[in-house]
Amino acid sequence: MSLFSLCTAALAIPALARPGQHDRNAPIISPRQQPDANNATNWPWRPLPWGEVNFLHTTDTHGFLEGHLNEVDYGADWGDFVSFVERMRDKADEHNVDLLVVDTGDLVTGNGLSDKSKTPGEVSNKLFRNVDYDLLTTGNNDLYFDYITKQVQTDIAEYYGDHYLTTNLDVDFNDGHGPISIGKRYRYFTTKHGLRVLALGFTLQDFQRPDFITVHNASTVWNSDWFKEAISNEVDLYVLLGHTDINARCDLTGTSQYNATETPMICMKDWLRKNKPDVPLQIFGGHTHIRNFRCYDGAASGLESGRYADTVGWLALRDVASDAWNGSKTIEDVPMATRTCSSPTSSNTMVDPTTAVRLDRRYLDFNRKTFAYHAIGNESDAVDKLDTPHGQKTTGDIYNARVQLNLTGVLGCAPQSYYIFAESCNCPSSIYTMVRFALNTTVKPDGKVKPQDSPRLIIMGTGGIRYDLFKGPFSVGDAFTVSPYNDTFLYLPDVPYTAAKGVLCALKKDDYCETEDPVGPCDMPGLASSTFAYDSFSLQQPLLHHAATEIKLNPGHVTTDDFGNCSKAVNSTDCGDDTQHKPLIDKYKPPKYLQSQGNIDPKNTKTVDLVFTNHLQEKILNLTVIKDLGYKASDVDYYMPPTFTTRDFLQEYARVEWNEKAKECPVGP
């Protein structure tokens, strides 16, 4: 039996309790996240630092509103987050300080909740907007197709009104209304405790921009009349939102594969630090899918907060000078932010020491223990007290949507975890090794025109694999999470094998195109462990209040940023990760394409069917090795029915290979 054969675990999914109506502050019993999710085993180990103005930040949620069902540290759903936000707003009121909640885009592409509806986002957008956001902006995945952008405009931009910002973005839906901004250009507002804020929301240029959008340079913004009016206001704090790498450079001339000239948000940051250096500036970024914090100078910094609803970013600011502030400067018996950003040697901004701010950041794992610990406290029933009626209803709505979209059906039990970046390609725990097996098992003729065992080479872009696949119950929704794109399988028939076997290296010459053996050592066996579903124990207690007799760390984020390096010591006070993890490092760059060989004898096979996904057709037909054989577009045909796409092959593979029933199906790294 191969490494990828049937697992020995069965699937048991409890029924969802119906959301109840009750006093917001009363203890809650259920529902707790999605019924097929797993509870976190570890607690945060220290309370959050607070400031006068505090931020909760999400980004790159990509429809992951049901949570990560097989990852115990990230198992909360969007309803749990709704409850957390409401509880944290109450806590900020108790402390007499401000709390702002912000998001920096990419609402679709990556999960069945967002992608399986008729229009991506049609279902998930309405679930997403249960969170009371103060500021939001758009991401590149919200802009690739006009019908997706229209859905965002209707469901998100119009719903949030002047909270949704598209400062440098115009769209033209060719409906006679000309280029428009689907959101507001800026928001100028006063917080509950008197802080005057000017917020802008920027779209990046460095992506394959469709024809119906225009992403303006920052200079277009600061030369516009509306900006001159906005910047003339009395401002205590600038906030820049952007679906943008906070480490990016302003000038991208000659370095972008998409002909971008600049990173508009960073250019605006530079302009503000030059022209308004006495007003602190806070950036919230995204797009890179990492946790990161960046010091620009003593009064300017940036935060990125992970991906796929696995992280909530926390940022606390103190000493933001304002003669209108009417809240608290200190909070009794609560840790306060004490760090400062020193000016990098490359910074041209001279910051007056009186305008420098004290601040701190934290990256919160997306689970109920994290939310309860920070929002409720360290009492034994904190998790039961987390839920609010609004949060409970959202949890129920998510589950109902999953059922209606047929995402909850369990197809089998994944016998191990498979990784995109954390394992070397061609190793047993590389997801691309498993994908090759899955393609060979499922992408084959039906036997009517060609025999099922016809020799074939199947080529697929690795960019179609968006997320790791984790050990445990594997559902229809998980298949969408790993492979969300809807690409069909095409082919050229009867290609000489001597030519076809050179296609992969002709597409992209790399260390993997000529071998299916591991290139370098395989890392994952040392991480093998299991956490059984619905485990109630906790081996790690909040270290501030409890002595931990044993700490069993789960693999996860181990972050290095401008304030600290968690890899040196996960329990260092300089570490930004709120929960301690064993390092699971994204350190391997995968090949751009992969190939699966079906029923090929290298010594005797004469011709093969050259199979590829539809988005590779033009690239393959333009390869010299194919053009020299005289193949053209009219020779391309469907290899599989058009209804069988890259969303389906993992579902079918799980039904075939992982569907043996047993008593248990453990989850684990």
351 and 461 fall within a common domain: no
- Domain assignment of residue 542, yes or no: no
380 vs 250, more confident: 250
Neighbours of 409 (CB within 10 A): 12
Q: What percent of the chain has pLDDT over 70?
A: 89
Domain boundary among 363, 384, 403: 403
Residue 330 inside a domain? The answer is yes
Q: Is the pLDDT of residue 7 over 80?
A: no
User: Is the domain of 189 the same as that of 333?
Assistant: yes
Q: What is the pLDDT of residues 208-221, one digit of tens each?
A: 999 999 999 999 99
Q: Are residues 417 and 395 both part of a single domain?
A: no
- Asked whether residue 18 is assigned to any structural domain, the reply reads no
**Residue 535 above 70 pLDDT?**
no
The predicted-structure confidence for 617-648, as pLDDT tens digits, reads as follows 999 999 999 999 999 999 999 999 999 999 99
- Can you give the CATH number for the domain in which 441 is found? 3.90.780.10
Residues 207 and 177 both lie in one domain: yes
Shared domain check, 222 and 328: yes
pLDDT at 23 over 50: no
Q: Pick 220 or 509 by higher pLDDT.
A: 220
- Which pLDDT band holds residue 175 (cuts at 50, 70, 90)? confident
The verdict on 467 and 389 lying in the same domain is: no
Give the CATH number of the domain where residue 374 resides: 3.60.21.10
Residues 388 and 498 in one domain: no
327 lies in the same domain as 267: yes
What six digits make up the tokens of 177?
Answer: 């209304």
> Stretch 291-311: mean pLDDT, rounded?
97
* H-only helix segments in 26-157: 78-95, 112-115, 124-128, 146-152
* Rounded Cα gap, residues 349 and 298, in angstroms: 9
Q: Is residue 3 part of a domain?
A: no
Q: How far apart are CA 587 and CA 590, in angstroms?
A: 10
Residue with tokens 């794109």: 485
Q: Domain for residue 328, yes or no?
A: yes
- Banded pLDDT at 345 (limits 50, 70, 90): very low
Residues 319 and 358 in one domain: yes
- Indicate if 368 and 464 belong to the same structural domain: no
> Is the confidence at residue 241, as pLDDT, over 60?
yes
Q: What is the mean pLDDT of the chain?
A: 89
Q: Which range has highest mean pLDDT (429-438, 441-450, 502-511, 550-559)?
A: 429-438
Mean predicted confidence (pLDDT) in 537-556 = 49
> What pLDDT score does 344 carry?
54
Residue 548, in any domain of the structure: no
Task: Give how many domains the chain has, as a whole number.
Answer: 2
- CA 373/CA 23 separation, integer angstroms: 20
Amino acid identity for residue 504 in this structure: L
- How far apart CA 304 and CA 293 sit, in angstroms, is 6
Do residues 354 and 487 share a domain? no
- Chosen domain end from 403, 430, 452: 403
Per the structure, the complete domain to which residue 513 belongs is given by: 409-523+589-657
For the chain, percent of residues with pLDDT exceeding 90: 76
Asked whether residue 174 carries a pLDDT value surpassing 80, the answer given is: yes
The residue-averaged pLDDT of 446-450 equals 82
**660: Cβ contacts below 8 Å, ≥ 6 apart:** 6, 7, 8, 412, 413
Q: Which of 403, 434, 458 marks a domain boundary?
A: 403
Task: Judge contact between 466 and 481, C-beta under 8 A.
Answer: yes
Residues 86 and 112 in one domain: yes
Q: Is 86 a domain residue?
A: yes
Residue 632 confidence (pLDDT): 94
Q: Is residue 72 part of a domain?
A: yes
